[in-house]
């Protein structure tokens, strides 16, 4: 592990120490508070584009739009990481799970807790600058826990997605609400735990609820006004697909295709209640203006009898045009999933080199078996190259990889300092 990787891991650990343990659902405490507002400058798109080169700030949930999670700061490294110790502890007001990725801007740390609280803290002292406590509306149900994975910052606004399916823009200096938009109806099973993604004056957000018969989506909102710009439904009206009998690794999924076709004739396409939540941040290819995200499990997750077909685009890596939200391509690694084997980590953009020395742009989707996918040519209907770990040979029109064990003949191109 290189210095950048150590720092990324250390930052998460320090953030946990700084936030510390909590002991009550709503705990009243005498927290240290600073008398002034947060002294932060507006965040520009250029800063976000180069976030992985900024050693003083931590501006994106996964460090950069490629989501490599490697940070350039070098103050903490292999030789001195053993000397880390607790500098201060900040106790939040919420007793629940803590899954936030702190955002650090100009000496201010923004962290979230379960039930959609946001704190602006002084990272040097642990003093609270401001605290936003969301006024929660009706929430029917949620999975899996009332977590919140963090905020994003663009301009002078901090963006939060809430458990009751709202998108909230806060003043970065004061924590005051600037605007609020409804994402979906929480009484229908929708909720939010993911951190938003900000890009080119847009706020991108998916949804929870894949276990509760919702129809999943990714939406884009205007970052300045909160106006809805586009919606992509992760379940198309025709979700049947190709009646695939094998998964991406070539394993027989033992589907009863005839029984599924009989069910389809009886009840029709279940696309309106098929699940397909998106709760991990999308990777963004700035060069091609595309986003890549993984879609979660179908609903119900362990019983496929009432959801005939491949259940598109559940358990898939999907790419969209950033500006319009229009479909570009997808790769479904498990059709008609009845094992709840959807991806549980965000996609990562990287360059991949074959043994012939040719380099292609790739997307790593953290499925139950890691897959590498080459983005298609313009207008392509499907990714032309998929390399799961279990394949022994895979050919395309211009590339060939012979893989004897794991990814022996596949090289992921990264900066040497990150290895």
Cite the active site residues.
Answer: 340
One DSSP character per residue, 111-141 reads EEEGGGEEEEE-TTT--EEEEEE--------
Which value, in Å, is the radius of gyration of the alpha carbons in the chain?
22
Q: Cα dihedral sign for 263, 268, 273, 277?
A: positive
The dihedrals phi and psi of 132, each to the nearest 5 degrees, come to: -105, 125
CA 214 to CA 143: how far, in whole Å? 12
Number of Cβ within 10 Å of residue 156's Cβ equals 15
One DSSP character per residue, 374-419 reads EPPPTT-SS-SEE--TT-SEEE-SS-EEE-SSTTTT-EEE--GGG-
Beta strands 202-205; 197-199: pairing state: antiparallel
CA 30 to CA 129: how far, in whole Å? 13
Q: Residue 382 in contact with residue 329, Cβ under 8 Å?
A: yes
CA nearest 269: which of 290, 301, 238, 299? 238
Number of Cβ within 10 Å of residue 134's Cβ equals 20
């Amino acid at each position: 592990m290189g210095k950048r990787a150590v720092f990324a891991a250390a930052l998460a650990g320090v953030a946990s120490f700084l936030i510390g343990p909590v002991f009550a659902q709503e705990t009243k405490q005498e927290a240290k508070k600073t008398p002034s507002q947060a002294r932060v400058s507006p965040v520009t798109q250029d800063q976000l584009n180069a976030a992985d080169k900024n050693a003083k700030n931590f501006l994106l949930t996964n460090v950069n739009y490629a989501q490599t999670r490697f940070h350039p700061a070098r103050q903490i490294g292999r030789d001195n990481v053993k000397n880390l110790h607790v500098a201060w502890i900040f106790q939040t007001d919420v007793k629940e799970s803590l899954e936030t990725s702190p955002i650090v801007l100009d000496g201010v740390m923004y962290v979230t807790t379960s039930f959609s609280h946001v704190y602006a803290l002084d990272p040097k002292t642990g003093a609270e600058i401001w605290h936003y406590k969301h006024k929660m509306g009706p929430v029917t149900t949620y999975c899996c826990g009332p977590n919140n994975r963090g905020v994003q910052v663009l301009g002078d606004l901090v963006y939060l997605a809430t458990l009751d399916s709202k998108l909230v823009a806060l003043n970065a200096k004061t924590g005051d609400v600037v605007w609020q938009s409804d994402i979906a109806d929480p009484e229908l099973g929708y909720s939010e735990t993911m951190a938003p993604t900000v890009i080119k004056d847009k706020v991108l957000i998916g949804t929870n609820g894949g276990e509760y018969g919702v129809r999943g989506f990714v939406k884009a909102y205007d970052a300045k006004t909160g106006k809805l710009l586009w919606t992509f439904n992760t379940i198309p009206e025709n979700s049947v697909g190709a009646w695939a009998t094998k998964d991406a690794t070539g394993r027989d999924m033992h589907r009863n295709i005839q029984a599924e076709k009989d069910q389809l004739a009886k009840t029709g396409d279940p696309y309106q209640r098929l699940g397909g939540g998106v709760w991990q941040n999308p990777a963004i290819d700035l060069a091609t203006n595309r986003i890549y995200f993984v879609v979660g499990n179908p609903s119900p997750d362990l019983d496929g009898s009432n959801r005939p077909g491949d259940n598109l685009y559940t358990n898939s890596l999907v790419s969209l045009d950033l500006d319009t939200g229009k479909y570009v391509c997808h790769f479904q690694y498990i059709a008609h999933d009845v094992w709840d084997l959807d991806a549980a980590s965000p996609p990562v953009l990287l360059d991949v080199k074959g043994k012939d020395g040719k380099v292609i742009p790739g997307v790593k989707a953290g499925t139950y078996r890691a897959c590498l996918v080459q983005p298609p040519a313009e207008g392509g209907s499907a990714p032309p190259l998929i390399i799961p770990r279990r394949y022994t040979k895979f050919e395309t029109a211009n590339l060939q990889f012979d893989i004897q064990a794991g990814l022996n003949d596949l090289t992921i191109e990264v900066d040497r300092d990150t290895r």
